[in-house]
A and B are shown apart, each in its own frame.
Chain A
Amino acid sequence: MSLIAFLGAVESGLIFGLVALGVFLSFRILDFPDLTVDGSFPLGGAVSATLIVSGWDPFLATAIAIVAGAMAGAVTALLNVKLRILHLLASILTMIALYSVNLRIMGRPNVALLMEPTVFSLVEAPGMPSRSWMIPAVLLVVIVLALIAFNLFMASRAGLAMRATGANARMAGAQGVSTAGAIVLGMAMSNGLVALAGALFAQSQGGADVTMGVGVIVVGLASVIGGEAVMPTRTVLLASIACVIGAIMYRLAVALALNADSIGLQAQDLNLITAVLVAVAMVLPGSRASLRRNFRRVLGLGDGNGGGGARP
């Protein structure tokens, strides 16, 4: 693997680290299986790219992209808490609706950002060190800031209420937590992070494409699970760092698959590697119970809370 390919994998891994953080928030903290991600990632790209080509400031365009993603997450949460639609189905509905929304925003399937100003323009100016180093450096700053903000929030009253909602909604409600409010806020934050990732991806890779959301949720989940497999996850801080590490590991695995012709791996083996990675993580201690609970919920086998309802 060349140095450029390695740095490229780190660059992608840091962007998808934001996706993994969002997926960690929905799946792990809120216990809400959310597939909106496949729509909110390209939404972030579409909004930022469309605004930039219309002459808006790239930083402002990226901020608006985050808001758009947050609104998409809130829509999923409201479908679930207000209309009582099953969480998984609610997220699928938002995801497929976003495909049309993204096409409508862009006006065409692909909006190019080559030769346009982006949030990375400052570090791409002549006289700066190589782009291969500078973009990952900028992204590292972004992800560290995101991690700090995420952990400060999770330690606040609102964050603790959100964690309580995910751990045991009935109990949290009994303690006076507005569980509906916590779910809407959490889903908005989660998809805001994912839309930020989509905006940064579009700006570093030459443009937004309506198909760029395909499989993003799988990458996010694999990153969360992979990170849990190699890192201790005793606290929210460790677990949130772990999913970013997991995202970088995933992208390095892709780069290895692309570059490991010697050991016979090819790019088309990637989905198999992902499946094996997730399967291996499932049989590792520590992640087994929580995974089983999530999968039982996704498959609709019981409520996933052990069924311990309060009985008089």
Chain B
Amino acid sequence: MRPLSVIAAACALALGLAPVSQAGAADVKHVAVTQIVEHPALDAAREGVREALAEAGWKVGENLTWTFESAQGSVGTAAQIAKKFVGLQPDVIVAIATPSAQTAVASANGIPVIFSAVTDPVGARLVRSLENPGVPVTGSSDMLPLPLHLAMIRRALPQSKTVGVLYNAGEANSVALVETLKTVAPAQGFTIVESTAPRSSDVLGAARNLVGKVDAIYVPTDNTVISALEAVVKVGIDNKLPVFAGDTASVARGAVAATGFDYHDLGLQTGRMVARVLAGADPRTMPVETIQKTDLYVNPAMAERMGLTLPPDMIADAAKIIE
């Protein structure tokens, strides 16, 4: 039986090794999407890409072939998906999240790779610089729009000079965020004071540590601090120290205001970049984009409890007012 099974396997492979059929009409473009894992944020980004392409006139089933593969969280599978795509020779490979983007770029062989939801494209070696990729790789990053966050604090507290940032130094993303925050703060006239909490039980102490040293507390998207956000809010109310957040979900939990973004909008931005490449733009010279469309959430009642009256025009600009 054994030789038979080998022959059967060989036959199956031979069948699978059929040559790739070229796209029929010349005006049909092929976009292949690789995604490391399926979860709500990344799926929303992918849907955004598809919608933006449809807005630009590329419709699946008419003039667009859309191939999608998810690696189910396995980097090994992501590498094989990248190889499959290079074999298919699509016009553009769209890679969602860092590991998928790295495996795609490692195999791409000159096919343009447009990434989405990659926080640090330079650190991940996808591009040489954000302004000028230098390789046929570009896309949109989901780095928090920190200058916008600081501008929001400036708008709510025009006289403020120092901002305290609470985070866990053990979270790689938070460390990167705080590094960036310290580089962009001086341009807006802010000094950053750090306070770290290795465990959620340390958050209360770390927040109290900032009292008297800062004009406002800023909570980035740090899992440890977010999980104990109520402790920070309590310190803010007790000491009339306004707390601002990096994600809109925290406003309902007691932050004064937050400027957040939605992965669907990030995907729309990525999709518009893909459409430009399909129309003949050179990805080598297309700068990496960060999120452009953000939503402001405000909590005026909580602001009052933290000793702050939000400007009426700021409340008017808010996408959502938490009562």
- Enumerate chain A interface residues (CB-CB to B < 8 A): 1-9, 11-12, 16, 103, 107-110, 112-116, 131-132, 201, 204-207, 209, 211-212, 214-216, 219, 229-232, 249, 251-252, 254-256, 258-260, 267-268, 270-271
Contacts and interface: CB of A to CB of B under 8 A. Distances in A.
A218 to B, nearest CB: 10
Interface stretch (B83-91, B219-227, B241-249, B292-300): B83-91
B312 interface: no
A9 B83 contact: yes
Nearest to A229: B5
19 contacts: A1-B18, A3-B17, A4-B83, A8-B87, A110-B99, A112-B123, A113-B125, A132-B83, A201-B79, A204-B106, A207-B99, A212-B99, A230-B5, A232-B2, A254-B80, A255-B83, A256-B13, A256-B16, A267-B81
B74 A206 contact: no
Contacts of B2: 230-232
A196 to B, nearest CB: 15
Interface stretch (B65-73, B158-166, B276-284): B65-73
A268 B17 CA distance: 21
Contact of B103 (A103, A206, A256): A206
Given A4-B84, A249-B9, 19 more contacts: A2-B19, A5-B86, A5-B87, A7-B83, A8-B84, A8-B87, A9-B80, A12-B80, A109-B172, A112-B125, A112-B126, A113-B125, A204-B106, A207-B99, A207-B102, A211-B99, A230-B6, A267-B69, A270-B72
B74 A214 contact: yes
A8 B87 CA distance: 9
Given A1-B87, A116-B125, A214 B102 contact: no
Contacts of A206: 102-103, 105-106, 125
A6 B20 CA distance: 12
Contact of A8 (B20, B79, B123): B79
**9 A-B pairs closest in CB distance:** A8-B83, A2-B87, A206-B106, A112-B125, A4-B87, A206-B102, A114-B125, A212-B75, A5-B87
Contact of B9 (A9, A219, A230): A230
Interface residues of B, number: 45
A258 B79 CA distance: 12
A231 B3 CA distance: 8
Most B CB within 10 A of own CB, among A107, A206, A215: A206
Contacts of A270: 72, 77
Contacts of B16: 1, 255-256, 259-260
Interface in B1-25: 2, 5-6, 9, 12-13, 16-20
B80 A255 contact: yes
B76 interface: yes
A107 B70 CA distance: 27
A268 B77 CA distance: 10
B266 to A, nearest CB: 19
B204 to A, nearest CB: 25
A282 B73 CA distance: 27
Contacts of A131: 109
Given A2-B88, A267-B81, A114 B74 contact: no
A130 to B, nearest CB: 8
Contacts of B17: 1, 3, 6
B140 interface: no
B209 interface: no
A235 B195 CA distance: 62
Contact of A268 (B70, B75, B98): B70
Contacts of B319: none
B134 to A, nearest CB: 10
A258 B84 contact: yes
Contacts of B84: 1-2, 4-5, 8, 255, 258-259
